[in-house]
Each structure stands twice: as structure tokens, then as C-alpha cells.
Chain A
């Protein structure tokens, strides 16, 4: 019975269906549905307070949605319902995220911060690690090498041993992105990746997002305010306002959409 609901199309990675969440009577997300395909950059846009981040949090189970389902094709190809799972189990499925305000650990080096992204992939027991048995030692070394690969890919290898606290904002954003790449992700959620970046950095980000998608063969789901970035980088866009679905389509279609224009103009006026 349950299995009949757990079906995704061949090329689908994530399907959000009838997602709603209430905060004390206020519907922050209202009956939202969309789906993300393999190797797709999917954008979620909307005016301030449209419920974009809440939508993310419902998918990653930081919030428990009131109703609706979130189906996800995991790393090993199974389709699973994410609603109701532990927050810390989500990354194991191959769904990983960044944060609006860059949540790195200031006391740790860039290398160690990114290594946290491989947390769930460590096989050796705590006991083996405490005694630094050869197996644990080898594993740690392997992950460190892999981390260095990722850092090189992101162009921040020089910072590997610097503490995160002293780094420029742009670098820290890259560190956080690098952290999502270690766990063999199938879908990466970027929460406002361009916030706080200057124009040059934003252009670089556009390039990075496409590169990540191609190299890691994953889908990318981003919430963004910077319209330029969204229009340049996304394959498909979903626009919402006050938690409600407005429109979905290619960047060009969204740009022309009357409802979307109104929602944005309404905000400015």
C-alpha cells in the first residue's frame, strides 16, 4: 500500500507534493508542489517572507510539515519519503544544504570544516578512532585527501589550514559549498548563495554552480534573491508568494509571467 506512493519518475530526484506548514494559524507554506529533475539547477524565488527558507526547512526536516509529502531518490537509488525522518539522517540519503548566514565553525580550519561534510561516511568506530587504530588512521587520511580535492575544485586549497574565523565572507561561502560536496550528494540545497557577495564573486558563483552540477552529477536547488544569478544559472524556476505557488517554468517564462511581476512590484511599491 505504502509503496505505491513511493514512486518517482525515472528522471526525478525530488518531488514535493501538497506541502503545507502552519505557524500558529499562519500558513507559511501553502499547498506547494514541484519536482526537481536529475542534473537540473532548480530555483525557488519569491519576495521577502514568501516562505522560501521555510520550504527548505520542511524538505530537510528542520520543520515538520503540517501536511504533504517529500519524495526523494536517495544515493542508492531507492525512493524514500523524507517527512518524518531525523534531521541528521537526511544527509545520508544524499541531500545536503548550506545556510543563509554561513554556519561554519570559526575555531576549526577550513580543512576540518569541510571534513565535517564527510561525517556520516566515516566507517571506523569511535573506539578505533580513540586508539587511532590503523584503519581509522587510514580512513581519516583518505577523507583529508578527498577534502583537498574538493578544496582545489572550489579554488580555496590555499586556505586549507587557515582558521575559518579570519576568512573573507566570499571564501567562507565557498567553504560552506565545499562542505556539501564530500558526501556524494544527489541534491544540494543552496540557501541564498549570492547574499553578501559582490558582482565579481556572484559571477564566479554562477560558474561554480554549473561546474558543481556537472562534476558531481547532482541536482541543485537554490533559493536566491539575486535575480541576475537565478536567471543565469537555473534550468527551471518556481516562484512563490506568501507561501503559495505562483508559477513554474524556464527563466524566460518566469520573467514574462504577470503574477510574478505583480508579486515583486507589489513588494517594491
Chain B
């Protein structure tokens, strides 16, 4: 029986174009704000969502791919924010340099946490990262020489190459650029050797090792990426919001970022953005307008919390999973229909 060899799907650049178009669409927001169609506050809210998307992309690599949970995201974001603010405001370093330092130092600390993770199983790791976050949070409020303590610390909008002074709109565009770059980088990483290795570790550590995946190396890489993305997001935060308080980087923020990837969709890049919008922007833009309950503080958390629980119970892929589920139902491929006969181990094993 002669069969035609199916085409080999390789690396494509189609996704790049998608990300760039997506970024360009977001660039319309400042234009619409200038035209008066949208309120100025819209810029802040979407800007915040973009920053959280970057942090959540990192956590998505760690939790979604490598399967290690971390409750320390906020701590790493805060660390990035404070280092960046200290470097640029107190030491007068250029913005680019402070961004790099503010990303590199937390990444190294993240690798240290990763070393810890090598020996711990799920629940202990969650608690250990909780401890790490607490250490950061306490340090932010007590190490006043650098952090300004409870009074907070201020920073300015970025100055590119020492000459181009950005204002809010410019910084917003800069955020988009960083998010698009982060998306591309994430896409490349998770669709290649690294992604497969992390998938393997999450799915079965023993099988991963048998295939030559070093748990040590890839766990560390995942932790480094998660903390690096988080710290970069923190650094961008401080130069966009221009102010930072220790109380911002609490457990609730870590939970919110976790909620973003759970709701938006584990292992989905666009899903992460959708999640960030739902968790961060929707409460501000929509929920507050709902009569009675909407005016209460805290409703946003209830909303996200309920969504998180519902997603875990009913649709593990989150919103991105639901969307792709709908799409693939429309065009079920022949091989999959043929495969529909036996779906799990038990049905296969029963044939003997």
C-alpha cells in the first residue's frame, strides 16, 4: 500500500506575524485615547495587564510546562521593581542598564530557588516559595535605605539611549514591544527542545530522564525564566506606574498572576494575555459598573477566584482551551476520528 508521506511541519514564522499584528492592534489604544474615544485610565489598565502578561508568561513556563508551582511571582516582580528604581533613581544609571541588572539579579536568585525545587515535591515547593515571597515582602518594607520602606519609592518614565524621554504613551508602546518580544521568545522556547523537555518532566519525570532530559538543568531553566520574566515585568512596572510600595507585592498579586494563567489557559501564549485582561482589566473596566456588588472592593477577587475554581473543575485548558476546542471540533482531522475508538489506557488494556 503506497501512501503519500505527510508534510513535515517545521518551524514557521507565521506566529511572529501574529504577535506583531497583535502588538500593532494594541498600539491603537493610545491613538483612540488621543481621539477621545477611550478614557486615559484605559491606558493605565491595559498597560498593567501587559505588565502582568509578561510576568504570567514566565509563570506559565514554570507551572504550565514544567509543572512546578510557585507562589513567589510577586516577590520577584517586586525585586525587579525595587532594583530598577534604585539603579535609575538613586544611582542614576541609564534605564536600559537598570532594566538589565533588575532582570539578571532576580534571575540568579530564581535559579537558587530552582536549586531548592530540585529536591522538593509539589506541596513542599509551594510552601517554600511562599517563604521566599515572605522574605522578599518583609525585606521590601524593612530595607528602607534601598526600598524607601512603607513610604514607597518613586521612579521616572524610561529615557531611551539617554536621549529619548518617553511619556506615558511612549512607555505604553514600549510595554507592548516588550510583551511582543516576550511572546516570541516564549513561543520559540516552548515549541522546541526546551518545551518538549519541560513537557516530559511534568508528564513523567522517569520517562523524561530515560529520554536524556536532565531534571536539574531544565528545572533551573524554568525557574530562571519565570523569575526573569517576573523581574523584567517588575522593572517595567516601576517605570510605567512610577511608584512602588511594599504592599503591592503581596501574596494576592502572586495569586492573581496564577489566576491569569489558569483562567486564560495553561500553556497558551495568547491565553495568558486574555487571562491578564480578565483578572486585571475586566474588574476595573466592567465589574465596577455592575450595580450594587460592583462598587465593593474585593468583588474582583471573588470573580477571579470563582473563575479559577470553575476552570480547574470543568475546563483545564482555560479560555484558550475552550476556543481551540471549538475550532478543532469544526475541522476534526481524519486521523483523530480514526483514533476516537479507544481513548484511554483501560480500554486498550482490556482487549487482551
Contact = CB atoms under 8 A, between A and B. Distances in A.
B5 A148 contact: yes
A178 to B, nearest CB: 12
B342 A168 contact: yes
A130 interface: yes
A106 B199 CA distance: 9
Contact of B340 (A160, A166, A169, A170): A166
Contacts of A171: 339
B95 to A, nearest CB: 23
B11 A132 contact: yes
Interface stretch (A27-35, A84-92, A258-266): A84-92
Interface string A119-143: 1101000100111100011001100
Interface in A7-62: 60, 62
Contacts of A91: 210-212
Interface in A65-119: 86-92, 96-97, 99, 101-108, 111-112, 115-117, 119
A137 B11 contact: yes
Nearest to A141: B10
Main secondary structure of the interface of A (DSSP, over half): helix
Nearest to B343: A166
B212 A120 contact: yes
A171 B352 CA distance: 15
A166 B336 contact: yes
Nearest to A109: B9
A103 B5 contact: no
A106 to B, nearest CB: 7
B320 to A, nearest CB: 13
A183 B212 CA distance: 10
B288 interface: no
Given A101-B345, A129-B192, A162 B333 contact: yes
Given A116-B196, A158-B335, A169-B347, A111 B207 contact: no
Given A97-B210, A107-B199, A129 B189 contact: yes
Interface in B204-235: 204, 206-215, 221
For chain A, give the interface size range. Answer: 35 or more
A169 B203 contact: no
B341 interface: yes
A105 B199 contact: yes
A197 interface: yes
Q: Of B194, B206, B212, B214, which is in contact with the most chain A CB atoms at under 10 Å from its CB? A: B212
Interface in B312-340: 333-336, 338-340
B267 interface: yes
A253 interface: no
Interface in B1-35: 3, 5-6, 8-11
A92 B343 CA distance: 33
A30 B216 CA distance: 32
Contacts of B214: 86, 88
A4 interface: no
B213 A131 contact: no
A157 interface: yes
A37 B210 CA distance: 22
A195 interface: yes
B111 to A, nearest CB: 14
B10 A144 contact: yes
Contact of B339 (A62, A90, A145, A168): A168
A198 B351 CA distance: 6
A200 to B, nearest CB: 10
A137 B208 CA distance: 23
B341 A116 contact: no
Interface in B153-208: 185, 188-189, 192-194, 196-197, 199-200, 203-204, 206-208
Interface string A145-184: 1011000100001111111011111111000000100010
Contact of A141 (B11, B334, B336): B11
Given A116-B211, A168-B342, A103 B9 contact: no
Nearest to A57: B206
A118 B341 CA distance: 30
Nearest to A136: B192
Contact of A103 (B203, B212, B335): B203
Contacts of A89: 212
A2 B97 CA distance: 53
B302 interface: no
A108 B6 CA distance: 18
Contacts of A99: 204, 206-207, 210
Interface centre among A88, A157, A163 (most CB of B within 10 A): A88
A168 B352 contact: no
Contacts of A90: 210, 212
B92 interface: no
A197 B349 CA distance: 7
Contacts of B291: none
A96 B210 contact: yes
Contacts of A122: 193
5 contacts: A103-B203, A103-B204, A120-B212, A162-B333, A166-B336
Given A129-B188, A129-B192, A196-B348, 10 more contacts: A86-B214, A108-B196, A116-B213, A119-B211, A130-B188, A144-B9, A147-B8, A148-B6, A166-B343, A168-B341
Interface of B: 3, 5-6, 8-11, 185, 188-189, 192-194, 196-197, 199-200, 203-204, 206-215, 221, 267, 333-336, 338-343, 345, 347-349, 351-352
**Top 4 A-B residue pairs of the complex, sorted by shortest distance between their CB atoms:** A169-B348, A103-B207, A120-B212, A196-B349
